[in-house]
Amino acid sequence: MTRYEIVKRSVALITLTNPPVNALSSAVRLALSKNVERAMGDPEVTAVVICGENGTFCGGADIREFSEPLQGPPLLPLLDAVEAGEKPVVAAIEGVALGGGFELALFCHYRVAHYKSRLGLPEVTLGILPAAGATQRLPRLIGIPASLQMITTGQHILAQEALKLGILDQVTQKNVCEVAVEFALGAVGMSGA
């Protein structure tokens, strides 16, 4: 459900592989948790990039699991581990980062997106509030008025608007995973790691 590889000799590239939208199913959460732990524990790894397969970062929770008891690790402890990691973690957003996928990106230290990407918290359209930290992290990033607009309407925003708001650190027209890897290498220098 995820692929792990080392690129540029020191960057752990973790790719979500759960078509069609790389939903955060129990299997994906488990694999992602293990790979984040692996990257953080590897002394050769200096930074981590999380991306999605097939032109999509992450469409959020796997709604097929909503009617069942929680299986696998909960999302919030996984996101906390990403945020607390001592190595820079960069989200490489392509296609969409929605719901839990957007929350995953918010917990990363940096966010790089393809210019055609869309970000948002559509849960409210299902009668659900974002429950994995977006209601705290988004206001910290962009302030309360803009956050309330995104949280309460469920509207998606385009990458350029997200960049202007301060959600993203970089927008590119190139291969977003490759750009994010270069960004991560630069972030290692910024963090002093």
Supply 172's token pair. Answer: 């590119």
Mean pLDDT split into 10-residue runs, the chain, 193 residues: 96 97 94 96 97 96 76 85 95 96 96 97 83 86 93 94 97 98 90 50
To which residue do tokens 């919030």 refer?
Answer: 76
Query: How many residues are listed for the chain in this entry?
Result: 193
Q: Give the per-residue pLDDT at 129.
A: 75
Residue 38's domain comprises 2-191
What is the domain-level CATH number for residue 161?
Answer: 3.90.226.10
User: In this structure, which amino acid lies at residue 108?
Assistant: C
List Cβ neighbours of 84 (8 Å cut-off, separation of 6 or more).
none
The answer to whether the beta carbons of residues 143 and 90 sit under 8 Å apart is: no
Q: Give the per-residue pLDDT at 2.
A: 95
The answer to whether the beta carbons of residues 19 and 53 sit under 8 Å apart is: yes
Q: Give the per-residue pLDDT at 191.
A: 53
Q: What is the total count of domains within the chain?
A: 1
pTM score:
0.93
Active site residues: 103, 123
DSSP for 43-55? TT--EEEEEESTT
